[in-house]
A and B are shown apart, each in its own frame.
Chain A
């Protein structure tokens, strides 16, 4: 795993930093950047990640996230030691820069576009999900985020570091048993779901039973 992890490190570190420090790559602790304007959600996601043995940096906005990554246009001469980010989890609806806009900026950045970005949203809207996945989001998670979500993500990222160079063949990510929606959603089924949740205002929630709750990304690198 060592040399492949090294490969991964070279891809995600910004170019101006020398790739001398492989200690982050050697350690099993992932560093996750969490972005959410809600205090409550930041606190919860932080705890979920820490309990899953991840290092966490939680910020309240896309702007702060970009500042942290050094993508805010400011010349950042300080090295990125210890700031290597393995995963970005961002809320979708935030004032100022939305999670979608943040996703775009990250994917447009040579230095950071390989970092998996996960979008979190309390709203299960098919067009929103599609848009995010098309823009390169790894996954779209409907809130509230659970421990099982975080663990699954962590396992996936850690495995992904080993599979980083696998470019051909089937890119379908392995799902845990409780997520059985690996085949692409039939658009009709999901639309029905969206429509019915609009027509039933007093129904319990706009999210739970809809099959698009955990869509997986059919990805190409």
Chain B
């Protein structure tokens, strides 16, 4: 794994140190390069921030417009990164470009800083059945609000993150909520590895930060509880399957036989999609409804007519596809950049060895001259190799925007499916009502044939009318919920388009300036060598 860059020999390094020039820490594994280049900036000393002055003088010497000027260059380059104010002790502060749209968004968030650190292994109170299990990792979550400046420190485990994500998904239907970090199937096995814990720590940090930057989610009680409530996380966890099944089993007969108030969907339930266990009947009904919708047997009165929405949905799907491709190719590009830098470094090393050898064994003057030439080339190659590595670290950060938005597409899908299931609930309730009305009509027609009315049938009618009233209420709730989600979808789509426009623009700009800047630096390195060896040029 790459450690933080500590040696930046942009001047020519002393002869003896040449061989120890940083080549051994060249990360050959792409993934470690990815994570280490990200963490190198966040954890260690950042190469660009600590650029020594010799570089800026060489930059001043170059005649072309300077992309090499460290301060402004660094600013533009860093804007895609999460701009957090204040430094946790283990994290030096990153410069903020005060005019980037992303930092404007960050400035509007409730939290000035969220840090995840200090993973600790803890033991489960109850011994788990799984051998080697029973231990889990907790992380220290430090956050500071922008308003009061108060700092909060809590300990959370990954399960808490899952809970947070689930509760947010329930409470904020229709919103584009950042997908949470993945669970790992064989969690306890993988847990031992330091690398995994580090990856997870970083992923949780990013996740929390992105939640906090969301204009709505960032202000949520759930997030606040997660970040600030001491002790156990005060959010309801998903109830375990057993008790849900029991609940469901008890309610099912009542639902199936349609008796009593338990036979219909209560308004408060109507605002949630049907979930397993307790809502078995509702699931069956909604399934029937969706089948009916598909087959067009019963024409649903509420149809997804919003053409505009359908168009946008298609666009989102297209966007997701292209994002996936671009994200893939970005990874390949980064790998290729890394490789060329590495090989350049190896080439330099080979020539350093040759230089040393020729110098030691020199008998003729031509050998000494050659050794000098070789050293000139070797030094340049090593410099260029360094520059490639830095370029790549920046490229990774810029193109990360692609990966980020690809992840967000999942959130979009979730929001759209919230809408679809809300619509389905409305449709189901509506067809419920229709069938209830039909039943009433039938009963009334039958009882009218009997002189004086049919008391049992009339009683039934009254019951049904009561059911209709409740169902109407539920339908209104469901409709309101559907409209609410529709509105959330719409505003979120707008926000996504806006933010994506800005973020992509920022990404392209950063990428381009980064590439140009480093290409310039590399050109200067080689131009010097070409100048020094110009005596050999072909006549």
B partners with A:
no
